[in-house]
Amino acid sequence: MPDNKRIKLLNKLEKVLGIKFSEIKLLSQALTHKSFKANESSVIFDNERLEFLGDAVLKLLVADYLFKRYPEQQEGELSKKQAMFVSDKMLAKKAGDLDLGSYMQLGINEERQDVSGLDSTLANAMEALFGAYYLDQGIEKCKKVVLGLLQKSLDQEEDLDYLKDYKTILQEINQEQGLGTPEYRVIEESGPSHNKTFTIEVTILLNGKQLTAIATGKTKKKAEQTVAREIYNKLQAET
């Protein structure tokens, strides 16, 4: 059972979410990173099993919503939408809005490296939270929480540009127009090993003209997405 200080912190999150757990230990477990168990205690359970369950619950609820919301769309379109709305980027964004990282239990090394701010850690915690609430309160109440957090995004009333996979979009455009495969090149790495910044350049050819863009990111994947967006915008302007 969490101690009183931990319970007070979790009660604060409950108020933010507008929910109440019957078993507060489930919420505590949902927000416990595996590193905490390994370093601080052998009796604390981490959130990986709850993440597994929450992932399934989330996908079901989003699929159900999209199926009813877009009766004219086929399986392929619905699948693309579902993938976007259950992605790590979406979940990490929502977790960031809740400041979920500040409620997490982490191992000492992870705290120093600010693992609580990583998209994957935040997304996993959100899924674990959904799994915990499903176990504690059932599918209908869990549905209210999930849709309450994702409603604006699902109805596309907010800017979802950050969810677009610009690398794939650019690749598809290039294939359609016979422009060749975009070439991504790391031109600089800076910072310590646990907090690197990557600078990546991408180049494509359009009617014999070379289009180039450069962007940075905390991971190669993020930098590549950002630079793909830049070159996509340049391509749109040219065509």
pLDDT of 14-53, one tens digit each? 999 999 999 999 999 999 998 886 555 555 588 999 999 9
Residue 119's CATH number: 1.10.1520.10
Set 46, 51, 55, 119: catalytic member: 55
Residue for token pair 């990583």? 118
- pLDDT, tens digit (0-9, with 9 covering 90-100), for 31-42: 999 888 655 555
Catalytic annotation present for 3: no
Q: Of 136, 155, 174, which closes a domain?
A: 155
Q: What is the structure's pLDDT at 112? A: 45
Residue 217's CATH number: 3.30.160.20
Q: Of 155, 188, 222, which closes a domain?
A: 155
Residue 167 clears pLDDT 80, i.e. is over it: yes
186 φ/ψ angles, rounded to the nearest 5 degrees: -75, 120
**Range of the structural domain that residue 9 is part of:** 4-155
Would you report the helix, strand and coil content of the chain in percent, each value rounded to 5?
65, 10, 25
11/106 same-domain check: yes
- Who wins on pLDDT, 94 or 176? 94
pTM to 2 decimal places: 0.70
Q: What is the structure's pLDDT at 116? A: 52
137/180 same-domain check: no
Catalytic annotation present for 88: no
- pLDDT, tens digit (0-9, with 9 covering 90-100), for 208-225: 778 888 999 888 888 888
Q: Find the mean pLDDT for residues 160-188.
A: 79
Number of structural domains in the chain: 2
Set 51, 110, 119, 127: catalytic member: 127
160 occurs within a structural domain: no
16 occurs within a structural domain: yes
Rg of the chain (C-alpha set)? 21
- Who wins on pLDDT, 208 or 100? 100
93/211 same-domain check: no
